[in-house]
Structure 1
Amino acid sequence: MDNTVRVSKPYNLAAIRGLVRDAFTGDELRRFCQDRHKFRPILDHFGPSFSFVQMIDAVIEQCQVHALLPDLAAAIEEANPRQYERHLPHLFEESSSPRLNGVLPSTGTRDGGLLPVPTAPAPPAHFVDRQAELTRLVSCLAAGAPTATTALQGMGGTGKTALVKKVAAEAAGFFPGGVLWTTLGPQPDPFHILASWAIAAGGDVRSYTDLFHRAAAVRSLLASRARMLAILDDAWEYDCPFLLMQNALPANTSVLVTTRDADLAKQLRCRVENLDVLGEKDALALIENLIGLLDPY
């Protein structure tokens, strides 16, 4: 097995967005994700009334989180070579030196495959100001109490993940130990998550085959760091986030969970912040921002 770290030039996300837009229609993009195993989980992030632009954003966001941008580009090259060739000159940012493409090495154990780096993605370019919610969340997480556990709950497509990316950026100064970002989804793999957390903390727990022993080892590694913020995005079920919160994170860690499920937020004993759909004024502002992103060149 190849245990080296993939290295490449960083992708130009505006160009990737333009490539996806020009290579597919909305229905074609859905079929593209459905027909490819790696991209099929992205369909879970499409809201029922998502526009084509929102679908594109969801695809790119999830490819960033799971280090799938190279796979996305390669799949589009195969599916629509003409558009790929047209966009190819713009796909990579100019850089004097290559950098890690969002992945960590694998040791070929139970955690086969490359591990995502658990750092917070940048807020989306089309973010619409939700200042009241942003202020409340940052204040709660940065509060004097040693532990702040908060859940941001709302229906799919209300912008939970976009808001939490903004929270991570705004709150980072309160957490000298850093921000751990993990996207859970409907079928999270706690072994894989714990392995990536350990490597981010400078250790390696992949020799631990018992889940609770692995979680305890991660907790020991993280306990040596200054206060951290852990973000568990898109929680669907109870067991994985509960394990991470109770067994892997040090007691002084602030935790922010996003979920569509209000009952799950209460089960996790979180302070619940509800996120409603955008009001008319903010919705119009979002549409204007999205229209401005349609032509990246």
Structure 2
Amino acid sequence: MQTTLDTPGGDDPASSREPLASSEQVRPTRRRSSPARTWIVTILLVLGACVVLLPFVVAVSMAFKTEAQAVQGQAFALPSPWSIEGFQQAWTLTSFPRSFAISLVVTASATVGTVLLSAMASYAISRNWNRRLFRWSFFYLLAAMFLPFPVLALSQVKLTGMVGLANPGGVVLLHIMFQMSFSVLLFTAFLRSLPEELEESARIDGASTWRTFWTVVFPLMMPMAATVGIFAMLKGWNDFMMPSMIIADPALQTLPVIQQVFQDQFSNNYHVSFASYLLAIVPAIFAYVLSQRWVMSGLTQGAIK
């Protein structure tokens, strides 16, 4: 004697296929881009690449030319023969090792200071948002974004001279101050996406607030720290106005200021000027290439809660 078990839907094959059919109906269809749209996007990307790469190609071509080739005015012609004469003169005229070292110290100090101070300030603000003091501190920092350095240049020059900071150290301090607002904004948005349960677990295990921040929170903030760091690095490395107005000793000037000092001398020697500019932008390009993955990760994670 055979017994059968009753199953939902019985033995009807059609009833057993109904859930599968319904699931296929609700599955979203993938929208295919039309060939015309693909061509338009491709053309726009090629044009954008040409706009960015064409000046760089001209700079490289002019830098490797001789003085006789540079004065001919054929910017798009390739060097024939290739020469490093411009790099040798730029190295000597700009005192490149000294100015490069000063710019490197200023940029590295400003970048590290901006990342650390902004991260700690953002953590305090985001975790104490219900307290009025911290909330208004955040608004105060945001308001500082509307005060660029040229507006406060005269007062900053006066103050740094009075306290003995008319040197690269004063430039580092001012860079950190003027980059705090934007950096705190990025860090605060990123911290709101981190679960607070991780910090609570660390506190249950006996960790203090200071240790919780450095061992649990700050490692999770590394994508955004890379984003803030690359912005601070580019600002500190390429800045011309602040060092030129703050640093009183010409021997302690950064590389962009030294290049401006020799602009009249480079006005007729285009291969020397372009060689000097290439020497200055190589560290920034190298740093961005190394950290671009973390930069994009920090921007996307900070935008999604």
Indicate whether the TM-score tops 0.5. no
Query: Which has a greater percent of strand?
Result: 1
Q: Which has the higher contact order (CA 8 A, sep 6+)?
A: 2
Q: Which has the larger radius of gyration?
A: 2
TM range (shorter): under 0.3
Query: Which has a greater percent of helix?
Result: 2
Which TM-score applies when normalising by structure 1? 0.22
